[in-house]
Each structure stands twice: as structure tokens, then as C-alpha cells.
Amino acid sequence: MSESAVVTRSSSSAIIDQFGRRLTYLRVSLTDVCNLRCVYCMPEDMTFRPRRELMSDAEIIAIVRMMAALGIDKIRLTGGEPTVRPNVVEIVRQIARIEGIRDITMTTNALLLAQLAEPLARAGLDRVNISLDTLDPGKFKFITRWGDLNKVLAGVEAAEAAGLQPIKLNAVVTRGFNDGEVVDLARLTLDRAWQIRFIELMPFGSEADFAQSAVVRSSETRRRIEAALGPLTEIPGSDPRDPARPYRLAGARGSIGFISSVSEPFCGSCNRLRLTADGKLRLCLLRDGEYDILTPLRAGASISRIQQEILDAAYFKPWGHRLPDGDVPQSRLMSQIGG
């Protein structure tokens, strides 16, 4: 659908935007804090928000419940690093009990999954996406500034053993850091039933210049993989709302996808809203518009009033980023949104 095809506001309680997109997927950032400092995501001396500014456990549950009543049925927990949030297992357990929520996933760096995968799965987590940019321990330490690759690999194993499947691995391709590693990562799919997704680097705030100079387009990543490992064949029947269409190498057990938010935005199929750790509803990853939900909640506004504000705000979910015009999201870094 084009930007001009604006539909009239729906009178139903489903969350439908001005372009007729039905929004059913909420990504919730549990914290802006992280136990790593990936070079493309945040500076080494990052300052985190004071605890009192973040949603409490009860506030997260209350907002998810209100949104589930408006048709949100899929939740992704993210961060910063969601596993460093105290009570993360209990938060999952409570979200899993909310009527209407049918799918709970998490994006994590996996450092703490060796301990947490099993309790999270028992609490109701369905799957995890694990960030893994390289299989080289030295490069991993360099990209994350101090991370231990062995802990991540142990986390991947623990997630698999706990049944958090299919395992999806996210690799942000960064020129000069890991663009030479994409073939090794893609090769993993030959023996493992994992989905490896190569993500284009996106610019945010103070880290934007770096991201713009180091971005590698998906077309280049794909060419590099095919030159080394042979043609990728599209796997039919995938979910059209998944930003990464899946491909397979000949004889591979797993699949490969490309998330091309910069070069090929997937706005037509976008069904997402984001809730930042400080309780703002963010309508688009790459546009700055946000609506404060936490302040009215703390001020005692009624559920129906907050729900109406969510419907009104979400109606104006934008279409398309404006990166080619130099319009880069400034209000937050990726770690403060959650991806």
C-alpha cells in the first residue's frame, strides 16, 4: 500500500493505523542497561537512566495487559539487555498469563542464558533471537568491547536444550569489523537448524556517523555468501510479516535471512509497536515520534483513557524512514529502543 492510501480511523478497538496496518506485535524494552557495549550500539561510557524513570514490573504488566485487550498478541522482550533486568523470569511468567498473548520471544546477547534459558522457557518464553556478529573470539571481544564468545555459545546451547526454538541468530554486518565473517556465519546453517539473519547497520543519535560509514547493504552480504557457498534459494510459505525472507543453501539444515531496514524498508508489512523501558510508545524504529504512557498511568488515568491514547497515538504510525534525506533518529540510541 502506498503512503497516499490512507484509510479512515477504525471505530473498533483493534490498533489500526492511518495506512490500514493492523498492529499486533509489541516489543518491550525491559531496561536500557547492558552487560556489553557493542561498538555500533552505544559508547563505552554510556550513562543509563535512573531506576525510578523505568517502568516497574507491575507497570510493564499493566501496559501489556491493556494492549493485549487492544489486539496485541505477540510480545518480544528486549533491552538494553533484557536478561539483566531483575525478575525477568517472573515478568515472563506474568506476561504468559495475560489473555490474548500467544507468543513471547526475547532478543538477547545470550551471556546469561546458560543460567536463564531453562527458567525462562518454563515461565513461558517461546523463543530467543541471539545476537552473534562473529565466530572469532578476538573479534567478538573487540566488537562488544569485553564480551566472552564462549559464554554466548554456551547460551545458544542452553537455549536449544531448553526448547527455545527455532534458534535465530542476528548478526549486524559492520564494515571493517565483521563483514569478512559473514561466510563463516552462513556456513553454520549447513549443519545446524538455526536461522541466521544478517542485519543492516542503522544510524542513531551520537553513533550515527559510525553507522553510516560502516553500513553494508544486504545485497553485498548476499553476494559474498553466494560467491563462497553457492546460490541461496528462497524458502516458500514464510510469514509475510517477518522482515527477513528466509533462504537456504543447498543441503542446509538451517536458513539465512537479510533484514534490510536501510536499503529495503518493509513498512507495508510492519505490524510493530515498541514500548521503551521508560514507558514511551515508539511508533517506528527509525523515526523519533513517541507517546508517553507511563506518566498518565502513574497519574492514575483510567485504563480506558490510556487505551484510547494508545489507539490515537498508534493511528499516526509513520511510513518509511528518511535516512537518504539526512533525517536520522536522534532521541535515542538503539540500546534505548531495543531493536
Site string (103-132) toward ligand SF4, x via CB under 6 A? ------x---------------------x-
Is residue 109 within the footprint of ligand SAM (CB under 6 A)?
A: yes
CA distance linking residue 154 with residue 144, whole number of Å: 17
From the list 182, 201, 225, 310, which residue makes contact with ligand SAM (rule: CB under 6 A)? 201
- Taking alpha carbons only, the member of 266, 207, 275 closest to residue 241 is 266
What 3-state class would DSSP assign to 248? strand
Question: 250 and 256 in contact (C-beta within 8 Å)?
Answer: no
CA distance linking residue 276 with residue 335, whole number of Å: 10
The residue whose grid cell reads 516489543 is 27
Is residue 139 within the footprint of ligand SF4 (CB under 6 A)?
A: no
- 75 to 94, contacts with ligand SF4 by CB under 6 A? 79-81
Question: 108 and 82 in contact (C-beta within 8 Å)?
Answer: yes
From the list 108, 195, 221, 260, which residue makes contact with ligand SAM (rule: CB under 6 A)? 108
Is residue 140 within the footprint of ligand SAM (CB under 6 A)?
A: no
Q: How far is the CB of 172 from ligand SAM (least distance, A)?
A: 4
Q: Which is nearer to ligand SF4, 38 or 314 (CB)?
A: 38
Is residue 203 within the footprint of ligand SF4 (CB under 6 A)?
A: no
Among the residue ranges 67-75, 103-111, 154-162, 312-320, the one whose residues contact ligand SAM (CB under 6 A)? 103-111
From the list 15, 34, 68, 202, which residue makes contact with ligand SF4 (rule: CB under 6 A)? 34
Pairing type for strands 127-131 and 247-249 reads unpaired
Give the helix/strand (H/E) hosting 144.
Answer: helix 137-144
Q: How far is the CB of 279 from ligand SAM (least distance, A)?
A: 18
H helices then E strands: how many in the chain?
A: 10, 12
Question: 14 and 71 in contact (C-beta within 8 Å)?
Answer: yes
List 130's β-bridge partners, or say none. 108, 169
CA distance linking residue 198 with residue 217, whole number of Å: 10
- Taking alpha carbons only, the member of 41, 43, 61, 59 closest to residue 51 is 59
- 206 to 235, contacts with ligand SAM by CB under 6 A? 211
Partner whose footprint covers residue 201, from ligand SF4, ligand SAM, none (CB < 5 to 8 Å by kind) = ligand SAM
Is residue 134 within the footprint of ligand SAM (CB under 6 A)?
A: no
**Which parts of this chain interact with ligand SF4 (CB under 6 A)?**
34, 36-38, 41-42, 79-81, 109, 131, 335
**Which parts of this chain interact with ligand SAM (CB under 6 A)?**
34, 40-41, 78-79, 81, 107-109, 131, 170, 172, 199, 201-202, 204, 211, 334-335, 338-339
